[in-house]
């Protein structure tokens, strides 16, 4: 009889411990998901950050290599952010970054990926696109941002971007694809 009581108590404790451990595992999984999001998301613009972008770029390069699907990387540099920060404060600069990120996301297809990869730099992965269409997308985005009305404290502030287009090659590394699009962006900026 005593053995049966001890076994019942032990099994109750074991069930409670298993339940507690299941809850703890669930909480730990949720925390890991939160940390993964923080590691791969830009908290200001709610876009992938450089790390998240690099992960996506590797997948696109693999698709280009495996299926010969054309894809492009658009390297976007926001002009004049330092001037906005210096003259109107970092809050205004943050608002400008958020405005540009929304315009970029709204200006591409849902299947394309927009990321903030640096202070005033964005990158866009455009899949299933030929070179001419990728350049058309870049031109359209430049015009979209130049034509927007960015207001801060009742003042209209001009926004503009320079965009370089690099077609992704099957033998690319992520760094090579970014460097090619960045170099094209710089050539456009100097020519403007």
CA angle centred on 26, ends 24 and 31, rounded to 5°? 95
Calculate the dihedral angle through the C-alpha atoms of 169, 170, 173, 179, rounding to the nearest 10 degrees: 0
On whether both 130 and 54 belong to a single domain, the answer is yes
pLDDT tens digits, one per residue of 111-149: 999 999 999 999 999 999 999 999 999 999 999 999 998
Residue 49's φ and ψ, nearest 5 degrees, are -95, -170
pLDDT (mean) for 69-89: 96
In this structure, of 9-13, 96-100, 121-125, the range with the lowest mean pLDDT score is 9-13
Please determine, for residue 1, whether its predicted confidence score (pLDDT) is greater than 80.
no
On whether both 7 and 98 belong to a single domain, the answer is no
Strand partners, 78: 161
**Which of 17-21, 38-42, 56-60: highest mean pLDDT?**
56-60
Distance CA 36, CA 165 (A): 29
On whether both 77 and 22 belong to a single domain, the answer is no
On whether both 65 and 6 belong to a single domain, the answer is no
Please determine, for residue 8, whether its predicted confidence score (pLDDT) is greater than 60.
no
On whether both 152 and 163 belong to a single domain, the answer is yes
Give residue 21's domain range: 2-41
On whether both 122 and 138 belong to a single domain, the answer is yes
Q: Is 32 left (phi over 0), alpha (psi -120 to 50) or beta?
A: alpha
pLDDT category at 9 given cuts 50, 70, 90 is low
Residue 51's φ and ψ, nearest 5 degrees, are -60, -45
The pLDDT value recorded for residue 109 is 97
pLDDT tens digits, one per residue of 181-192: 999 999 999 987
The pLDDT value recorded for residue 101 is 98
**E strands in the chain:** 41-42, 47-48, 71-79, 113-116, 121-127, 150-152, 155-157, 160-167
On whether both 78 and 103 belong to a single domain, the answer is yes
């Amino acid at each position: 009889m005593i053995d049966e009581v001890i076994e019942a108590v032990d099994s109750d404790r074991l069930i409670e411990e298993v339940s507690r451990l299941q809850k703890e595992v669930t909480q730990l999984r949720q925390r890991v998901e939160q940390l993964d999001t923080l590691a791969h998301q830009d908290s200001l613009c709610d876009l992938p950050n450089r790390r998240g972008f690099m992960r996506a770029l590797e997948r696109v390069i693999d698709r280009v290599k495996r299926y010969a699907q054309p894809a492009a990387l658009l390297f976007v540099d926001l002009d004049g952010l330092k001037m906005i920060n210096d003259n109107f404060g970092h809050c205004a600069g943050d608002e400008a970054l958020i405005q540009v990120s929304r315009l970029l996301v709204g200006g591409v297809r849902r299947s394309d990926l927009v990321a903030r990869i640096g202070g005033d730099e964005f990158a866009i992965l455009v899949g299933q696109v030929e070179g001419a269409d990728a350049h058309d997308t870049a031109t359209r985005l430049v015009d979209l941002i130049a034509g927007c009305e960015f207001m801060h404290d009742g003042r209209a502030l001009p926004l503009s971007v320079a965009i370089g287009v690099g077609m992704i090659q099957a033998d690319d590394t992520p760094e090579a694809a970014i460097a090619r699009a960045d170099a094209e962006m710089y050539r456009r900026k100097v020519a403007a």
